[in-house]
Amino acid sequence: MGILIDKKTRLLVQGITGSVGSFQTKQMLDFGTNVVAGVTPGKGGSKFNGVPVFNSVAEAVDAEKPNASVIFVPPKFAADAIYEACDSGIGLIVCITEGIPVHDMMRVCAYLEKSSCMLIGPNCPGITTPGVSKTGIMPNPIHRPGNVGLVSRSGTLTYEIIDLLSKGGIGQSTSVGIGGDPIAGTSFVEILRLFEEDPETHAVVMVGEIGGTAEQDAIDLIKQMSKPVIAYVVGVSAPPGKTMGHAGAIVSSGGGTALEKIQAFERAGITVGRSPDDIVRILKNMQ
């Protein structure tokens, strides 16, 4: 069930002994995620909650054969952590770190184009498949197994919508936070394609926000999908030129407003929710 992660996912945590990494690793273990290794330079040979810690990704891959990695390292080291995971043959990399310089991410994305690695993030909450696995920081209690996929640029709004869906009796196949930075590893289009191919996903919620054109770039694909997509765009009242929350959420004088995105969806015949509660109502009416 779901996309990207499953019971066969063997997760490596880069930055496992840091304050955030250690807390979130415990949460992932409690969720049932198969965390097989961690990396903190200088702490190789130790263990965290029973998980072996290594000095490098290469050592961890050689010993424990992880096939996915989640990164909790400071911004100035994050690009190198992504390179290290990619060079070690890890196919799925989830970077939680926020505040990575744009120029670093431009180089990272150019590098990854030459590989078979998929990067989710940075500055994202990661991936959760309820009842199966979690790679990231989404709160454990809010999820419910089901057939609605969710892909979002927002962080905390993702949690709010998942919680409302679950409380409304609507379970999720997988929830994916792609991050809201100007340069991201994965787009709406790539995740929507995976949901379209997933037999356990029957409908998709797509959560956008102000800044850029990532939402409009997905319209042509959505029009071709066999599954209903409900779009929601946050930031209708955001003033032009003001950053809202993070570097990607900024409206320039040339575009990127929530209203422009909503109007583009509506012109294409795509259902648009006006609030998180409205998304739940629309999905219930589809059942």
User: For residue 42, which of 31, 53, 52 has the smallest C-alpha distance?
Assistant: 53
Burial of 237 (0-12, 13-18, 19+ CB in 10 A): exposed
Cα–Cα distance for residue pair 255/103, rounded to 1 Å: 23
Cα–Cα distance for residue pair 10/215, rounded to 1 Å: 32
User: For residue 286, which of 185, 197, 203, 184 has the smallest C-alpha distance?
Assistant: 203
Angle at 180 between CA 134 and CA 219, to 5 degrees: 95
Active site residues: 246
Angle between helices 102-112 and 75-87 (to 10 degrees): 10
